[in-house]
Amino acid sequence: MYAPNFGAKFSADAPPIEIKRQGLRDVSVFNGFCAKHDAALFSCLENEPFKFDRRQLFRLAYRAAARECYLKRKQCESLPTLEQMKAIHGITEEISYTDEILIHQAASLRGAEECEQLKAKLDKLLVSSSWDRMVTYAILFEKAPCLTACFVFQPFHDLDGRQLQDYENLDAEMSQLAITVMPVDQGAVAIFSWLDTANSAPRRFFESVASSSNRTSAVIHAVLDNSENFALSPDWYEALPDTTKNYLLSRMCLLEASIEYHYRQRPEVTASFLADWGVSQVAQF
């Protein structure tokens, strides 16, 4: 399958980000979980038919939040120190971080803290088996999906460009939305989940996707624009023209999808044809 690949260096012959064919294990295995101790936790997903019961839906969101929490913390820790940067580039004089780097570092740290707060809330609900505290809607499609995804993010604007959260206020508590796209026996499903204590942002983002006249494309854009944890079907991706492949990469490389949503038309309206997962319907679980 095809998935995002992040190069080890920035250079003309080694692009920092690309969509590359990878093995199933490289794409699906997350080292933040322990195969032994977490097997029971996710057994209802791995070893039972998926029936959209609240226990399964909660664990999908929990898995997405745990992965995001782990990666955001690693992202904060990955910024090289000034001494490391001097050694890498052979610099002898004193250097300092730019304002842009400091802002990025502060934003990354804040994002990690907020994700850890979400994870802590989910941990308590997991222990108490409070599955009903998770609000879940799904868009059901009749055909198999051309991509799969599992992620959590903070929706700042919906697909119509309407602002959903006061993201410029670092003291404001941001609500988060978990999205899972996967094949099911009936075709495909895009699952949207958020805590019942969340503000209106997750619900309004979901509604902007569900209200689309092209739900397949709206879901694909919601994934590509807001996540790095997705995989593309080889049969579908390899059949795409180069212009469409370049377009998919450009969506993945958006620095902030909310800016794109705010200043331009809905992405699925202006994009070329991507896929058609057939007739769809919305359901609440």
| Residue 232 falls inside a structural domain | yes
pLDDT of residue 5: 77
Residue 195 lies in a domain: yes
Mean pLDDT, residues 96-103 taken together: 68
Instruction: Read off the pTM.
Output: 0.84
CB 195 within 8 A of CB 134: yes
In a domain, 79, yes or no: yes
pLDDT at 224 over 60: yes
Rounded distance, CA 198 to CA 204, Å?
A: 11
CB 130 within 8 A of CB 268: no
pLDDT at 101: 65
Cβ neighbours for 170, distance < 8 A, ≥ 6 positions apart: 110
For the chain, give the percent of residues with pLDDT over 70: 81
pLDDT mean over 240-246? 96
In a domain, 220, yes or no: yes
Report which of residues 72 and 95 the model is more confident about: 95
Domain span including residue 159: 31-284
Tell whether 1 is covered by a domain. no
Is residue 268 a contact partner of residue 218, using CB atoms and an 8 Å limit?
Answer: yes
What tens digit of pLDDT does each residue of 27-55 get?
554 555 556 656 778 888 888 999 999 99
The CA–CA distances, whole Å, from 90 to 81, 85, 94, 164, 274 equal 14, 8, 12, 45, 46
In a domain, 163, yes or no: yes
Element containing residue 116 per DSSP (H, E): helix 99-127
The whole-number pLDDT of residue 98 equals 73
| Residue 61 within any structural domain of the chain | yes
- Rounded to whole angstroms, how far apart are CA atoms 156 and 250? 20
Q: For position 255, what pLDDT does the model report?
A: 65
Higher pLDDT, 72 or 200: 200
Counting Cα atoms < 13 Å in the Cβ hemisphere of 217 gives: 16
Q: 174 pLDDT exceeds 60? A: yes
Cα–Cα distances (Å) from 95 to 88, 91, 263, in that order, read 13, 8, 36
Would residue 144 count as lying in a domain? Answer: yes
With beta carbons less than 8 A apart as the criterion, state whether 176 and 194 touch: yes
Non-local (6+) Cβ contacts of 176 within 8 A are: 65, 114, 115, 118, 152, 153, 154, 194, 198, 202
Closest to 211 measured CA to CA, from 282, 135, 136: 282
The mean pLDDT of 153-160, rounded to a whole number, is: 94
Tokens 């469409």 map to which residue?
244
The count of domains in the chain is: 1
Q: With beta carbons less than 8 A apart as the criterion, state whether 9 and 238 touch.
A: no
Predicted local distance difference test score (pLDDT) of residue 76: 59
pLDDT of residue 169: 78
Answer whether residue 225 shows pLDDT above 90: yes
The model's confidence at residue 100, banded by pLDDT at 50, 70 and 90, is low
